Structure 1
């Protein structure tokens, strides 16, 4: 299911926009502040981020400036002000929609942004990955990526099991060599850092997929 992060001022369980998106097959995760938004951005595979401009400006502006993700952001606003639209785009938004929204238009814009974000990489080049165990470097698609020792071992382990879902418990035991605690986020942190490095090298972060409720998988 496609995950949508919805940053809005309301704290209700399900707004009209979230409900309509859910009916279109999206899984909508609602937050009302930048801190919770960043946590979701780091731990989930997101199709897009919807940012309601009714959220206090300090939070919403900071989020747009500080974001470290290539996930598309669509700003939702109560007016169709040219100044507000330009400010949103200058701050890093990928698109802008004024309320009241037409849910069909929103869905079409989400589809356009999704197509735009697909990495243009030759699959024949990416299928062959070279590993350097001495300096924890992976090379493919004509690029090299230097990882930490733990990130490297996680990447290699998932690559060797590509196409399979590897549970967090297995990764924790086989790679981190310890039991997975109930509130242990070390594994998620290493995966998140690896994805961020992939993005910085203009490589697809989706090589490492989150399988919700199960674990992670490696996929070309």
Structure 2
């Protein structure tokens, strides 16, 4: 199922689109408040695509688009009654992947969602973070061009840290969002794997450069 986060303050339109898209195996979680939507997106990385209106309370949609494009790895489709060419150009320049002017046939929105996601799938899933390069498709992480010899659990945890660089991840979050970690000893499991990763990436546990312990919370990755 395709998971959509939508920011649309027109309740009637949001309900109509939610019901229609469900027929195509597309689930929608809508937010009328862009600030709450951004908070949700920061916590939940499981959305496949964003549908964004431009005329919103509190924040202009262009600013939302710019922020999301800069901080998140999620494609954005603008759904707006602002059909001026300037709005379209600015939205695309700041990071939108597509622009659909209202009113439109909801079936066209389905086609646009599918097309944007197809284009995204063709892009290489490589993330560069300082000295590290994460290739999710190749199941490899390189440091300074040299592949690291990682177990499945180590790869999964280090990948999560890299993709959330600068963000503190609690042990509970890590365990809830991984499949290769052993749940038998909860906190200890995460700490042990962090220790193994540190050895493999040359990170001094007493004075870490990459994996930073945040007392009472968890870990964050710096690069």
TM-score (norm 1): 0.58
Distance 1:169 1:29, change over 3 A: farther
The equivalent of 1:69 in structure 2 is 72
Aligned counterparts, 1:91-110, within 5 A: 91-110=94-113
Q: CA deviation at 1:49?
A: 0.4
Aligned residues: 167
The equivalent of 1:28 in structure 2 is 28
Q: Which moved more, 1:57-66 or 1:36-45?
A: 57-66
Distance 1:89 1:121, change over 3 A: closer
The equivalent of 2:190 in structure 1 is 175
Aligned counterparts, 1:150-189, within 5 A: 158=178, 161=180, 174-175=189-190
User: Counterparts of 2:136 and 2:9 in 1: how far apart (Å)?
Assistant: 46
Distance 1:86 1:12, change over 3 A: same
SS at match of 2:30: strand
SS at match of 1:5: strand
Where structure 1 has 5 or more consecutive residues not aligned to the other structure, the ranges are 139-144, 178-185, 201-220
CA contact (8 A) 2:34 2:59 kept: no
User: Counterparts of 2:9 and 2:51 in 1: how far apart (Å)?
Assistant: 12
CA contact (8 A) 1:33 1:59 kept: no
CA contact (8 A) 2:2 2:25 kept: yes
The equivalent of 2:7 in structure 1 is 7
Alignment counterpart, residue 113 of structure 1, candidates 88, 101, 116 = 116
Q: Which moved more, 1:7-16 or 1:103-112?
A: 7-16
Where structure 2 has 5 or more consecutive residues not aligned to the other structure, the ranges are 127-134, 142-146, 156-161, 193-216
- Bigger radius of gyration, 1 or 2? 2
Cα RMSD (Å): 4.3
TM-score (norm 2): 0.57
Q: CA deviation at 1:10?
A: 2.8
Q: CA deviation at 1:131?
A: 4.4
